[in-house]
C-alpha cells in the first residue's frame, strides 16, 4: 500500500481511513478547502433533525429530539410544592441533564461526565432568560401551592452539538406538557388527581378542572458553530468538535432576538464578522427548527 501524497488523490478506502485517523486535521482541511465536509454537508448546513412528542407515556410532557445522530430524551414530571415567600405566586422549574455511559465512549461508568453540569446550567439560564415560561402560570393557590416542573434530559447519543439538541428536546417537552388536575384532600392539601379518578365525581371541587397547556412565548433555539481559521462550520459532529476546538453557541428566540452567546474558550478569536455570520446562520436555523416543532405539535393534535 502506498503512502498518500499531500497533493494527490487518496487511492483507496483503506488509505482514506488511515489518513483520517493519522492526520485528522489535514483530512478535514482538505474538505474545507472545497467548502464541503466529510459527511457531504456544506459548511453552513445543519444535520437532519427530527422531533417526536410524547415519547415517555408516564411523564406529563416528553419529547425525543435527534440532530443527526445526537439524540436527546426529555421528560417532565409535575409535583405540587409550597412556593417561596419571595415569589408566592410563582412555580419553579428544575432542570437536570444526564449523560449515561451508553451515550459516548468518553463517558465512563461511575464517573459523571464533565459536560453534564455545564449543559444543565446553560439550559436553566437559557430557559429562564428567554422568558419562554411565565412562572405565574405554575401557581395554584397564592402563597400556598404551586407547581414544580422537574425536567430531566437524557443524552442517548452524544455526536456533537449537545446543547442544541438538549434545548430542542426541552422546548418540545414543554410544548407537549399537560398540567394535571389537582384537588383538595381531606386534610386540605392539594394532591394530584389520578387518571382513574378523572372520570369519576370528585368529593371536593378540583383546583384546576381540566388538564391544560402552558402558554409558551419567545421560544429559544440554538445553533453551535465551529470557528476554524477562516471557516465556520454549523452544527458540528463530535469528531469535528474534537479536532477543531473553538465552539460558539448562539441562542435566538422565535422573534430572532438574541438570548445568549456562549464561547467556552478555544484558540480562535470570535471577530465581529465571524459573530455576525454565526448569528445569520442561527436565524436561518431558528426558522427550520420552528417549522419542525410546529409540525410535531400538529401531528400530535391530529392523532
DSSP string, 242-255: HHS--EEEEEEETT
Q: What is the pLDDT along the chain (303 residues), one digit of tens a residue?
A: 444 444 445 456 777 777 777 778 888 888 888 999 999 999 999 999 999 999 999 999 999 999 999 999 999 999 999 999 999 999 999 999 999 999 999 899 988 899 999 999 999 999 999 999 999 999 988 888 899 999 999 999 999 999 999 999 999 999 999 998 887 665 556 766 665 555 554 455 555 656 788 999 999 999 999 999 889 999 999 999 999 878 999 999 999 999 999 988 777 777 889 899 999 999 999 999 999 999 999 987 766
Instruction: Kindly state the DSSP code that residue 222 receives in the 8-state scheme.
Output: E
Q: Give residue 22's pLDDT.
A: 79
pTM for the predicted model, two decimal places: 0.88
Please state, in angstroms and rounded to a whole number, the distance separating the CA atoms of residues 71 and 236. 14
C-alpha cell at 294: 410546529
Q: Give residue 186's pLDDT.
A: 55
Neighbouring residues of 3: CB distance < 8 A, sequence distance ≥ 6: none
Q: How would you class 179 by CB atoms within 10 Å of its CB: exposed for 0-12, middle for 13-18, buried for 19 or more?
A: buried
Instruction: Check: CB of residue 301 under 8 Å from CB of residue 262.
Output: no
| Length of the chain (residues) | 303
Instruction: Check: CB of residue 35 under 8 Å from CB of residue 41.
Output: no
Neighbouring residues of 123: CB distance < 8 A, sequence distance ≥ 6: 95, 97, 153, 163, 166, 167, 170
Amino acid at each position: 500500500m502506498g503512502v498518500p501524497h499531500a497533493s494527490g488523490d487518496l487511492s483507496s478506502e483503506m488509505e482514506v481511513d488511515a489518513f483520517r485517523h493519522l492526520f485528522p486535521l489535514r483530512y478535514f482541511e482538505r474538505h474545507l478547502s472545497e467548502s464541503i465536509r466529510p459527511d457531504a454537508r456544506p459548511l453552513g448546513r445543519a444535520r437532519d433533525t427530527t422531533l417526536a412528542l410524547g415519547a415517555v407515556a408516564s411523564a406529563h410532557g416528553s419529547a425525543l429530539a435527534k440532530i443527526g445522530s445526537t439524540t436527546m430524551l426529555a421528560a417532565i414530571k409535575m409535583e405540587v410544592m409550597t412556593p417561596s415567600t419571595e415569589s408566592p405566586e410563582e412555580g419553579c422549574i428544575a432542570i437536570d441533564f444526564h449523560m449515561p455511559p451508553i451515550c459516548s465512549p468518553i463517558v465512563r461508568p461511575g464517573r459523571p461526565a464533565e459536560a453534564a453540569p455545564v449543559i444543565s446550567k446553560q439550559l436553566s439560564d437559557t430557559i429562564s432568560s428567554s422568558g419562554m415560561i411565565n412562572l405565574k402560570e405554575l401557581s395554584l393557590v397564592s402563597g400556598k401551592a404551586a407547581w414544580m416542573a422537574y425536567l430531566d434530559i437524557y443524552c442517548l447519543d452524544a455526536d456533537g452539538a449537545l446543547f442544541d439538541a438538549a434545548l430542542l428536546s426541552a422546548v418540545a417537552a414543554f410544548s407537549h406538557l399537560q398540567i394535571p388536575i389537582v384537588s383538595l384532600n381531606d386534610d386540605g392539601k392539594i394532591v394530584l388527581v389520578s387518571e382513574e379518578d378523572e372520570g369519576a365525581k370528585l368529593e371536593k371541587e378540583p383546583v384546576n378542572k381540566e388538564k391544560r397547556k402552558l402558554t409558551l412565548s419567545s421560544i429559544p433555539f440554538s445553533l453551535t458553530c465551529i470557528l476554524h481559521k477562516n471557516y465556520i462550520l454549523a452544527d458540528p459532529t463530535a469528531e469535528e468538535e474534537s479536532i477543531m476546538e473553538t465552539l460558539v453557541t448562539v441562542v435566538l428566540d422565535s422573534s430572532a432576538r438574541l438570548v445568549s452567546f456562549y464561547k467556552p474558550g478555544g484558540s480562535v478569536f470570535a471577530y465581529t464578522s465571524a459573530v455576525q455570520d454565526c448569528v445569520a446562520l442561527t436565524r436561518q436555523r431558528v426558522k427550520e427548527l420552528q417549522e419542525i416543532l410546529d409540525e410535531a405539535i400538529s401531528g400530535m393534535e391530529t392523532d
